[in-house]
A and B are shown apart, each in its own frame.
Chain A
Amino acid sequence: MKLTKKIFLCAATIAAVTVFSATQADQLDTVIKRGVLNCGVVLDFPPMGYFDKENKPAGFDVDYCNDLAGALGVKAEILNLTWGDRIPSLVSGKTDVVVGSTSDTLERAKSVGFSYPYFVFKFQVFSKKGTGINTFDDLKKFKVGAALGTTYETEYLAYAKKHGWGTDNYTSFKSENDAYLGLFQGKVDAIISTNTNIATKLQTQEFKDYVAGPFVPDYDDVVGLIAKRSEVAWIDYLNLFLIHQIRDGKMNERYNKHFGSEVPADLIKTLRDNK
């Protein structure tokens, strides 16, 4: 009787300890133990993320995933996401972190944990040469498109609403690529995208007759890495990682590789100021 009681007590303690320690293992431990970092990237957003001609993931964000995995001493597994997939992938545990140019809005921060900013974009108009879009207000007269659920879509729609343009000449696209394809095919006269993506598109044969237009007025798109909101220690690690990317010169190296120039001082300054 005594013995069975003891065994039972032992078993209960072990079970309790296991359960307890299981809840204690946070994301950081999980990733290190697993040996693999599941890193979500939006791969239709060059030069941040895209597929190279071997259909392999490449880009600034992909390099950041690899740098992060390197720092953690694990292997990076890149998962291709659309803009809309980013949160589901985190919530569902498919990804540990999303390096996916996620604008750090206060609304989103209610649902998901943001790191310090790691990049700043400008939103810009992109259209065929000679379309005649000189100021942002000229857009009123044209068919405009953007990717669904992005911050630039929200910004454009808010601007259009404020100026009473209505949304009749606005088209949403499922993804960034679809928006460019739509512009290329002539479904819309202009799209709103980021300055970085536009700059890379301008270097291609397909878009040589196109031109980068005005910026969305008064808006800097500050973006961070995202992770599960509850994983505070993990987000702390991500923050320190981002600081090190700048401090150790990795950011400059990556920027150089994908944008062909040194990181602008004001970008570094914005990143430092924001944190």
Chain B
Amino acid sequence: MEYEFHWNIVFQKMPQLLNGAFVTLHVSVLSMLIGIAIAVLLAIAKMSDYKLFSLPATLWVEIARNTPALFQIYMAYFGLGAFGIHLSPYVAVLSALVFVNAGYLTETFRGGFMSIPRTQYSASRSLGMNSVQVYRYIILPQMFRRIYHPMTNQFVWSILMSSLGILVGMDELSGETQRLQSLSFRTLEFFMVAAVMYFLITKLVLFSASLVSQKLFKGDL
């Protein structure tokens, strides 16, 4: 192989890469938090009997689940730009990720909620619990246990998909890698390091998620 690896330039640029990795983590955490909040509302709206609420929620969910994330990011950036709505690359990627996360999590939440038999509700009520207590002690803990794993997966997905920031010139890990490699032309070195960093970030997230789940569920998931 005639390619000679030059690693020292990558080490010199390490601070910029780490900074990019931080932005990646930042945007995916934020997209999860906002996504969860919206998904709760959408799940409630989707289960509503009123078409006024359920229809827009269904529309959101189906568009989010049936179009590529790349398309959504372009849409948020240049599509909305045509209406004079100008999001920065960061906000465009964030909103696209939020849009998708909310769409997928809505179905997760709804599925989790539906999986708990209605009879438990009436049983708990007949034991003298009020509605709030039933949700607080019976329904939500069981539901949370069921949605925890899909939520972690969604989080990992967000980290991986934030790499599409490269396409709108965002300064997350992939975009930063792209910039550094075009200045020095060391493509393989920079992208290899980026790949390792993504791997470590996702492992870190999964590891912390399993720690949290052990604390929360005492291991029995």
Contact = CB atoms under 8 A, between A and B. Distances in A.
A–B in direct contact per CB < 8 Å: yes
Interface of A: 83-84, 86-88, 91, 105, 107-108, 110-112, 147-150, 153-154, 171-174, 178, 181-182, 185-187, 228, 230
A117 B185 CA distance: 18
Nearest to A151: B183
A111 B185 contact: yes
Interface size class for chain B?
A: 20 to 34
Contact of A149 (B6, B86, B182): B182
Interface string B157-179: 00000000011111100010011
Contacts, number: 76
B65 interface: no
A187 B185 contact: no
A172 B84 contact: no
B214 interface: no
A174 B6 contact: no
For the complex of A and B, 4 pairs with smallest distance between CB atoms: A149-B182, A172-B169, A111-B185, A185-B81
A136 to B, nearest CB: 22
Contacts of B175: 148, 172
A101 to B, nearest CB: 13
A148 B187 CA distance: 15
A87 B181 contact: yes
A107 B183 contact: yes
Given A86-B182, A172-B179, 19 more contacts: A87-B182, A87-B185, A91-B188, A107-B183, A107-B184, A147-B169, A148-B178, A148-B179, A149-B178, A149-B181, A154-B183, A172-B89, A172-B169, A172-B175, A182-B81, A185-B86, A186-B86, A187-B81, A228-B2
Contacts of B168: 173-174, 178
B82 interface: yes
Given A178-B169, A187-B86, A112 B185 contact: yes
Contacts of B179: 148-149, 153, 172
B185 A83 contact: no
B50 interface: no
Contact of B89 (A86, A111, A171, A181): A171
B178 A87 contact: no
A174 B167 contact: yes
A171 B169 contact: yes
A147 B89 CA distance: 13
A84 B181 contact: yes
Q: Which of B78, B178, B187 has the most CB of A within 10 A?
A: B187
A242 B186 CA distance: 26
Contact of A185 (B82, B170, B183): B82
Given A172-B171, A186-B84, A91 B3 contact: yes
15 contacts: A84-B178, A91-B187, A108-B184, A108-B185, A111-B6, A111-B186, A112-B185, A148-B178, A149-B178, A172-B169, A173-B169, A174-B166, A182-B81, A186-B86, A230-B2
A83 B3 CA distance: 21
A122 B185 CA distance: 22
Q: Which of B81, B168, B182, B186 has the most CB of A within 10 A?
A: B182
Given A148-B178, A148-B179, A174-B166, A185 B84 contact: yes
Nearest to B3: A91
B56 to A, nearest CB: 27
B96 to A, nearest CB: 15
Nearest to A112: B185
A186 to B, nearest CB: 6
A148 B184 contact: no
Contacts of A153: 179
Contacts of A172: 89, 169-171, 175, 179
Nearest to A173: B169
Given A171-B169, A174-B167, A178-B169, A88 B187 contact: yes
Given A84-B178, A181-B78, A110 B2 contact: no
A91 B166 CA distance: 21
Nearest to B90: A171
Q: Which of A86, A148, A181, A182 has the most CB of B within 10 A?
A: A148
